[in-house]
Structure 1
Amino acid sequence: MAPDTPELSAQERAGKAFPVSWDQFHRDCRALTWRLNEVGPFHAVIAITRGGLVPAAIVARELGVRVIDTVCIASYDHDKQGDLKVLKSISAETAKLGGGTGKGLLIVDDLVDTGKTGRLVRDMMPDAHFATVYAKPKGKPLVDTFITEVSQDTWIFFPWDTALSFQPPIRDGAA
């Protein structure tokens, strides 16, 4: 990239916008749970924060799992992907439930994109079941269960990142 060229945001690089409403996200999480119900039972759910918090809560409720833990990994600011940084690991108590390798544990995230975060968590708990609501082609091989595949050049706008506002019709040049 030339020094005088501003860095593009992930959405500008991606080009395709995929807005997801709260209703749709909840339906997709329940659909994910239907698939996971046939795979379990699970001793605990581990949410990859922050994006995995909402789907993990829905999935844990639907599966009747009471132990919920987090692994906190920073990889995005609001629109740019950067280096991974583990802010908090899975607790020793939860790791023990999975025998140290994750067997019987369910890791949940909203999306697997490039697979960097998924690979890092897989290394922590190689035998855990990894589920995401959405999957892009580069990260899909790391996921055991997902609901919707979107193209690699799609930027998903999750309901917690958006506000309701008027959008011009597509025929008027809206993306």
Structure 2
Amino acid sequence: MSDATRLPHEKGFHVSWDQLHRDARALAWRLDGTDWRAVVAITRGGMVPAMIVARELDIRTIDTISVRSYRGTGPVDQGDLEVLKRPDDTLMGEGEDILIVDDLVDSGRTLELVRQMYPKAHFATVYAKPKGKPIVQSYVTEVSQDTWIFFPWDMALQYVRPYRGED
């Protein structure tokens, strides 16, 4: 089967809630040592990691930026970028001592747009793909460009029958 016909789950990286929590704490450990004025989560995926990082680093000022790029479930469904919600302008300035957190940098398009808005901010993601890696200053785990990451909020647990027998 060629990569062109491969379904996203066939080269998938499944992240559990527990793994995401450990990885977000590892990201916080890498970010320690700076007096961040605020954490800004890129919605929606960056909200959980940003909350964990903010808790670990005792940062009480948290805001969000909402950028829509994906329409559907795959990279071919990535459309024009649209900022739906911005953080407070008086807080942000050019982003100095602001920590911007997302779950993943893939192509880097979303973070490039946000970096144009806040050029002095520090960009951190839990996971990074090679195309987007140059956009971030901090990340925890690199995955290949053709790997689809399944985050815990995208998944549901369900019963799976055993190969043999009934239980």
TM-score scaled by length of structure 2? 0.86
CA contact (8 A) 1:69 1:94 kept: no
The answer for the alignment partner of 2:131 in structure 1 is 138
For residues 57-79 of structure 1, what are the alpha-carbon distances to aligned partners after superposition, in whole Å with 9 as ceiling and x for unaligned?
A: 00001111111011101112351
Amino acid in the other structure paired with 1:86 = V
Pairing partner for 1:161 from 154, 161, 166: 154
1:13/1:160 Cα in 2 relative to 1: closer, same or farther (>3 Å)?
closer
The answer for the alignment partner of 2:71 in structure 1 is 77
**Aligned residue runs from structure 1 range 12-161, under 5 A:** 12=7, 15-38=10-33, 40-80=34-74, 81-95=78-92, 100-161=93-154
Q: CA deviation at 1:89?
A: 1.4
CA contact (8 A) 2:8 2:147 kept: no
Aligned length: 156
CA distance in 1: counterparts of 2:121 and 2:32, whole angstroms: 15
In structure 1, stretches of 5+ residues that fail to align are: 1-7, 170-175
CA distance in 1: counterparts of 2:19 and 2:48, whole angstroms: 13
Amino acid in the other structure paired with 1:57 = M
CA distance in 2: counterparts of 1:78 and 1:42, whole angstroms: 34
**Identity value in percent:** 61
CA contact (8 A) 2:49 2:126 kept: yes
CA distance in 2: counterparts of 1:145 and 1:118, whole angstroms: 13
CA distance in 2: counterparts of 1:135 and 1:43, whole angstroms: 24
Amino acid in the other structure paired with 1:115 = G
In structure 2, stretches of 5+ residues that fail to align are: 163-167
TM-score scaled by length of structure 1? 0.83
